[in-house]
Amino acid sequence: MDANPPSCSSSTVSLSIKTSIFVSVLTAMIPDRFVVERKYERKMFAEPHINGEKRGWIEVVCGAIFSGKTEELIRRLRRAQIARQRIAIFKPQLDNRFDDVHIVSHDARSIPSTPVAGSAQILALCSGIDVAGVDEAQFFDSQLPEVAEELAFRGVRVVVARQDMDFPGHPPAGGPMPQLMALAEYVTKLHAICQQCGNPATHSFRLSAVSDQILVGEKEQYEPRCRHCFVRGMSQREAVQAP
């Protein structure tokens, strides 16, 4: 019997080297932005620690229709409640699609809120508040960024949810969203599912020919689409409307 201990076969060594190379290549293929996003995600979804100096900030949750913006807003506010923080939630008075008072997501989650006619009312109603949530910010006036920043300076965490583009597919001119996204410490862009091809959707395609800038509606008025399906739909509509 051979007294020497068995040595690794060349095939075993070769397999080990190939496995190591495969892992290295796979790791290199993961974009750095994923690592960065995970780091920011841990910070973004953590409730503020209010021992010592109280500091506020602004978070914006944006995306196309049916992307889960309101659901994410409710989730963050519920977590703040679990952390025993004082919260205030606001919605525009004109948005009564699901309920006059509650904020309701498309998956039927809800949370009580205060309907307001304008953003100036939010400041008056946020005394002694740790976290303020604002849903459907696209229906608010252009003073909303100033209100959000003032609250942040007061030490309030402000969470705002809204669509980031209007129905023609542009950042709304004169609206609060571009300035809010610039002022915010954290911006989360969510994606829906394109109803034409199944790819991630970033646009809200208006199904009707109504050209009003503000049109409150649901599935009968809008559907989420990816960039390519949105542009194709807009081109088809223009061709039909052309004389």
Q: Which residues are catalytic?
A: 136
- Please spell the DSSP secondary structure of 186-227, one letter per residue: EEEEE-EE-TTTSSEE-EEEE-S----S----STTTEEEE-H
Q: Any residues with CB less than 8 A from the CB of 74 and at least 6 apart, and which?
A: 103, 105, 109, 110, 111
Residue that the structure tokens 């969510």 belong to: 190
User: Do the beta carbons of residue 209 and residue 237 sit within 8 Å?
Assistant: yes
Using DSSP, state whether 178 is helix, strand or coil: helix
Phi and psi for 118 in degrees, rounded to 5? -155, 165
Residue among 156, 164, 232, 151 at smallest CA distance from 202: 164
Question: What are the φ and ψ backbone dihedral angles of 151, each rounded to 5 degrees?
Answer: -65, -40
Contact between 88 and 132 under an 8 Å Cβ cutoff? The reply is yes
